């Protein structure tokens, strides 16, 4: 096997993702919830598959992610991980499964041991929980900006960080979660200038969703980019099927240098 082929088929690690940031190479990420799509996404060369609690909306028909349980996340992570060969797998800790240090560690361990995840993701600036998980050998992806699990608290899905005080808090939170040991950071639904500022100040990769072109990578909800979502597609998403002859071709379109960075608020 030549070097190029080996690079394309070797499993992606967190070290690879961090190296991509250092090289200025955009990171690609799609949500995945089942074995069939996992195989297609993985074979297309996507860097990260996110088993997101968005499955509550896309797969289960709920209006929010709040009803999703840990058993739901374990099941769907298992489906994705069974056929994965290359992509790095991140799984969400769902609502109220990381309220305490011990609860977070126990549930994160289940996502990794039973679900096959390589990293867990949790919402909000929670440096104490992140630090505790990392001390147990659990890789963590933090998530700042719009927090879907907090929807009943914030009232509606809207851009975060538009006011100076909130923007400053998000920068501080980003630095705090990095200091606590998070190795990736999702930035959701915030002004592009703020996401760029955070990305520039961090040494860990940032993955944006509705956060502008200057994050280190972008994550798309699979159903949105294929235009098969049951609900309303986010205004910053794009229907990649309109320019593709197959699902795999549409997925590969998201990996072009332009499209990897084209989703912005």
Specify whether 168 is catalytic: no
Q: Are 219 and 31 in contact (CB under 8 A)?
A: yes
Q: Are 112 and 120 in contact (CB under 8 A)?
A: yes
CA angle 20, 246, 213 (to 5 degrees): 35
Phi, psi of 247 (to 5 degrees): -60, -45
Q: Are 237 and 264 in contact (CB under 8 A)?
A: no
Catalytic residue among 123, 128, 168, 188: 188
Alpha carbon 210 to chain centroid distance?
12
Concatenating the DSSP letter of every residue in 128-174 gives HHHHHHHHTT--EEEEEES-GGGHHHH-S------SHHHHHHHHHHH
- Neighbouring-strand partners of residue 144: 187
Q: What are 1's two structure tokens?
A: 């096997």
- Neighbouring-strand partners of residue 91: 51, 120
Contacts for 187 with CB less than 8 Å, ≥ 6 apart: 144, 145, 174, 195, 198, 199, 206, 207, 208, 209, 211, 215
Task: Return the active site residues.
Answer: 188
């Amino acid at each position: 096997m030549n070097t190029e082929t080996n690079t394309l088929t070797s499993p992606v690690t967190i070290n690879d993702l961090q190296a991509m940031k250092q090289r200025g190479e955009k990171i690609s990420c799609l949500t995945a919830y089942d074995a069939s799509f996992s195989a297609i996404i993985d074979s297309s060369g996507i860097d990260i598959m996110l088993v997101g609690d968005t499955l509550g909306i896309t797969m289960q028909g709920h209006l929010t992610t709040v009803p999703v349980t840990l058993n739901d996340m374990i099941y769907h992570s298992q489906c994705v991980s069974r056929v994965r060969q290359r992509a790095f797998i991140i799984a969400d800790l769902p609502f109220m499964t990381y309220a305490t240090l011990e609860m977070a560690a126990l549930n994160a361990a289940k996502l990794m041991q039973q679900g096959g995840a390589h990293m867990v993701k949790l919402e909000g600036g929670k440096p104490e929980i992140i630090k505790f998980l990392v001390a147990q050998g659990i890789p963590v992806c933090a998530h700042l900006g719009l927090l879907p699990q907090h929807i009943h608290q914030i009232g509606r899905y809207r851009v975060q960080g538009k006011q100076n005080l909130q923007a400053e808090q998000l920068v501080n939170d980003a630095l705090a979660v990095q200091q606590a040991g998070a190795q990736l950071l999702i930035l959701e639904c915030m002004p592009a200038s703020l996401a760029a500022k955070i990305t520039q100040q961090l040494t860990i990769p940032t993955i944006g969703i509705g956060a502008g072109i200057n994050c280190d990578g972008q994550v798309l909800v699979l159903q949105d980019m294929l235009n098969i979502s049951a609900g309303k597609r986010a205004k910053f998403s794009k229907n990649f099927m309109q320019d593709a002859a197959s699902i795999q071709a549409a997925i590969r379109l998201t990996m072009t240098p332009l499209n990897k960075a084209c989703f912005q608020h």
